[in-house]
Structure 1
Amino acid sequence: MPDKLKSPVKAALVVIGDEILSGRTKDANAATLALWLNEQGVRLDEVRVVPDVTERIIAAVNECRSRFRYVFTTGGIGPTHDDITADAIAKAFDVPLIDHPEAVRLLKAHYPKGEFTEARRRMARIPEGGTLIDNPISVAPGFQLDNVYVLAGVPLIMKAMLESLRHSLDGGAPMRSASLTVPMPESALAGDLGRIADAAKDVQIGSYPYYREGRVGLHVVVRSTDEKRIEQVIEDIKSVVSRFGVTPVDDPREG
């Protein structure tokens, strides 16, 4: 366990789609993936958003897969001409793109006779050597190739695909967190929080100001794989805040 605490397993997400960059579609998958990975003992360390451009997808995936234990992509595996993620991943790994027999069988069985069109057949194209990722909602599978996991962009489907991967990743200790609501300006507490953070390098301390009903305050979030260290740091923060004559409020635990 100590080794896992010192060297957390990290992952990256490459979000693919012009619709995300244009603002027409809001990405909901990064938050879902981050929370899911925490449960597997993996930390989402980087998120990139790239357009539906083959060269850009290849560059992002190749750089991330060389730096992170796991890489996830979302988007671009549907039936239309601009769904090019499978093509780009095949080129990134320099392998052929093939009609995967099991993917063809699944899709052919899913659609009524005569409705398994050439466009829908595109969703059965998988880079050679890829392993299918189950899609219990709309059948069209995602796939895994080495440390790259290619998922759908539709949030409901993407989440369902993740469930089929549960417990399949080699992670470390799950990340836990606790937070306090402090009814005072962030600037008044900044120096003390900095000193606490310097003394607790093994935890993450985040400060998030808010303004509501004419009052300012902040949420302080403490994250670590070690529950005892979280409790210690929370108590240190409460002690500092109490010197200002302010009583912080424990927020519901996040994990």
Structure 2
Amino acid sequence: MTETVAPTAAVLIIGDEILSGRTQDVNLNAIARFLGALGIDLLEARTVGDRQGQIVDALNALRRTHDYVFTTGGIGPTHDDITADAVGAAFGVPVAEHPEALAVLERRYGPGEFNAARRRMARIPQGGSLIANPVTDAPGFQIGNVFVMAGVPRIMEAMLQDVAPRLRAGAVVHARTIRVEGVGESAIADVLRAAAEARPDLSFGSYPFGFGGDGPIGTQLVIRGRGAAEVDAAEHDLSRELRYLGINLAVTSSSQV
């Protein structure tokens, strides 16, 4: 059953490797698509380094203002994997080996392979519940409205399978895209502004393309909203106004995002 008011979410990306440019983050895009399919509005994303104070401050700010917070990174076996300790500090609870996590990891590694570094991945803040990891078994965890997941994209996306049933879904957002070729944003700015003012409950976006020298220039106009009929009507009216101005529409498309 969906809700009238959409749940909201934020993402906290953790890792010096992201801020240094050594690693390119792709988890934000994956989480955004995952939440969009559930009708949950992703409203904010922050990136912080491997510094406990930064993580604690950001996490406390986000979890107080959003229904859900998703963190990625910093739950591995090395000394700089400090996310579990930071989350425990944010919630004011101790961090200790979780019996279930310990059992999962003991089964994963053979005799003599389950060393002290790997045991670190069984440390969970008190009151946390595990998030299954079908790729490497080392679990993430949930505490309150915070979901703590791996930074490796393949593992993080696999963890989302266990997260989905725990979330309250909202109405899915419908989108219509109008592709206009041969004109830039400035030529259609007034028409787009009038459309947005006429339907304040919808979102109207303008995204130019072709200015790098390859192919034609143009603009993609995207209309988004939770009412499919209203979005369809807005697409119809905007297309009609553009044609009235003599602007050719290359293609229109629809999706749920």
TM-score, normalization by structure 1: 0.95
By how many angstroms is 1:3 displaced? 6.5
For 1:225, the equivalent position in structure 2 comes to 226
Partners of 1:40 and 1:167 within 8 A in 2: no
Matching residue of 2:244: 243
Q: Which of 54, 68, 71 lines up with 1:70 in the alignment?
A: 68
Task: Output the CA distance in 2 between the equivalents of 1:128 and 1:73.
Answer: 17
1:10 corresponds to 2:11: no
Which residue number in structure 2 is paired with residue 189 of structure 1?
188
**SS of alignment partner, residue 239 of structure 2:** helix
Q: Give the counterpart letter for 1:126 in structure 2.
A: I
Contact 2:3 2:169 in 1 (8 A): no
- The C-alpha deviation readout for 1:17-67, integer Å capped at 9, x for no partner, is 011111111110111101100111201100000010000000000000000
Match of 2:168 in 1: 170
In the alignment, structure 1 residue 136 sits paired with structure 2 residue 134: yes
* Deviation for aligned residue 1:112: 1.5
Query: 2: CA distance between counterparts of 1:190 and 1:254?
Result: 23
* Off by >6 Å, runs of 4+ in structure 1: none
Report the equivalent of 1:145: 143
Q: Aligned residues: percent identity?
A: 45
The answer for unaligned runs of 5 or more in structure 2 is none
Cα offsets for 1:172-221 (capped at 9, x unmatched): 10122121111121100001101111111111111000115453210111
SS in structure 2 at match of 1:218: strand
Q: Cα distance, 1:252 vs. partner?
A: 4.1
CA distance in 2, matches of 1:56, 1:196: 41
Which residue of the partner structure matches residue 127 of structure 1? 125
Q: Greater shift after overlay, 235-244 or 67-76?
A: 235-244
TM superposition shift of 1:244: 2.6
Two-structure CA RMSD over aligned residues (Å) = 1.5
**Corresponding residue for 1:254?**
255
Question: Is the aligned partner of 1:98 residue 2:96?
Answer: yes
Count of matched residue pairs: 253
Residue in 1 that maps onto 2:109: 111
Q: Extract unaligned runs of 5+ from structure 1.
A: none
Structure 1 residues 138 and 241, CA, compared in 2 at 3 Å: closer, same or farther? same
Give the aligned residue type for 2:206.
S
- Within 1, Cα distance between the matches of 2:214 and 2:246? 21
- 1:74-125 deviations in Å (ceiling 9; x for gaps): 0000000000000000000000101000000000100111101100000000
